[in-house]
Amino acid sequence: MPPTSSPTYERLRHYIAKRMRMSHVYQPLMHMELLGRRSLAPAQDVARWILGEDVTQEELSDAERDQLLELCRQRLDAFRMQRGE
């Protein structure tokens, strides 16, 4: 059975998949940059910025970061395809 996802991961996944506004294309790019740094502070900064709450007690696993990065890439690719780029 796969490990249970952290609450921070679930909230970030929901935001990226459902609420992130693609009219501001910098958002997925910024999230990808910060999540890709592989240090705790940038991931917490992203979560705090997106979720508007203190998440210092919740860490993202490497697998969760990878999944969030992939979701950002998918959203960005879909946006590009929609615009014909």
Low-confidence ranges of the chain (pLDDT < 70): 1-2, 23-25, 38-44, 46, 49, 53-58, 85
Question: What does the pLDDT look like over 39-56, one tens digit per residue?
Answer: 666 666 767 767 776 665
Decide: 66 and 11 in contact? Cβ < 8 Å. Answer: no
pLDDT value of position 70: 92
The structure tokens listed for 32 are 């990808």
pLDDT value of position 67: 92
pLDDT value of position 1: 59
DSSP 23: T
Buried/exposed 30-63: b ≥16 CB within 10 Å, e otherwise: ebbebbeeeeeebbbebbeebeeeebeeeebeee
